[in-house]
Amino acid sequence: MVTKQWLRDAPAVTGPRQGIYPAMRRIARDALALGVGSTLPTNMRYLEEHGIVAGTMQRALAALETSGALVVTSRGHLGRVIDGLDVGAAWQASGLPPIRLLFPPSGPPEVDTLSTLISEQLTAHRLPHTVHHARGGIGRLRATQQGEHDFALVSRGVLTQALEPDEAEAVPVRIFGPGTYYAPETLVVVTRDTQDPSSVRTVAIDEESYDHVAFTRAEFPPQEGFRYVPCPFTKVPAMVLRGEVEAGIWHRTATFVPLELTGLSVRQLHRPAAVSAWEALSPAVIVACPIRSELASVLEILNLVDLASRQRAALTRGWEEG
């Protein structure tokens, strides 16, 4: 009874919230979403939408500047312009959860190198993150589109196939050069050592992979009499060894036993249509969740200028160890 009486007699909580920490979180999130060079919302908007009064706004901005998270310049009626933004410090101040990365399964050296480099960059910027792996580029892309993860690593082929042009324009992405997802050395045709290349007729195809279908149809065009046998692309070498197919395209990974020692041969794609498909589909793409506008600032700070050299070193090291 005492508790109920106290609740009934307590004054209603009205008016704007005065806490500096909620204000810091709100401002930091807005800064991350807007980026350097943009203008923060006005004091009136912060008051109307978040209950932050002008005095609290000033204290929150001062605290963010002291922490190094944010530098703003007042331009009078034009508002406060964001002149500097430390994405890591701003993320910490924003109270946002760790960034969720969704990568392909480990294996191909060029993909593993890019995945590691992204994680290293986030760590260097003091951005908390978790790493998850899942097979299937379209599934990874859809999980990001639906907000289950924040960033997905896919090929450009997946991006092209899964999203309409207008959808793709609305999604924050970083697209890298050809070969950053499928290096020329790793996208290979697998056959048996004893197989006469001119006699190949049955070819493995992963109908659930847009990329694999595109590469296979370009290298082994159906109009020339090739017959396709459904097969997950990861199992192509095994199917060739068992004689279930005569050839198949495989995204090569570092293995304990090189394929060449198992009675298999590998070669690169050579038909012009297949080479063109490789150039179009082989770039790696980092896709951000479209409903998380603050992720655009994270994409901006990723410095991956040494990606090509690191991938080349990983490929060389992988083949030498194999």
Find the CATH number of the domain harbouring 297. Answer: 3.40.190.10
How confident is the model over 138-151, as a mean pLDDT?
94
How confident is the model over 32-43, as a mean pLDDT?
94
Domain shared by 257 and 297, yes or no: no
Domain shared by 222 and 298, yes or no: no
20-34 vs 54-66: helix crossing angle, rounded to 10: 70
Domain shared by 37 and 162, yes or no: no
Output the pLDDT for position 257: 66
Domain shared by 105 and 130, yes or no: yes
**pLDDT tens track for 155-175:** 999 998 887 777 777 788 999
Domain shared by 159 and 295, yes or no: yes
Find the CATH number of the domain harbouring 18. Answer: 1.10.10.10
Q: Which of 79, 94, 109 finishes a domain?
A: 94
**pLDDT tens track for 84-130:** 999 999 999 999 999 999 999 988 999 999 999 999 999 999 999 99
Whole-prediction pTM:
0.84
Judge contact between 175 and 156, C-beta under 8 A: yes
Instruction: Quote the number of domains for the chain.
Output: 3
Residue 195: give the domain boundaries: 187-278
Domain shared by 233 and 300, yes or no: no
Evaluate if residue 13 carries a pLDDT over 70: no
What are the C-alpha distances in Å from 37 to residues 34, 173, 297? 8, 20, 12
Measured at the alpha carbon of residue 117, what is the angle toward residues 113 and 120, in degrees to the nearest 5?
140
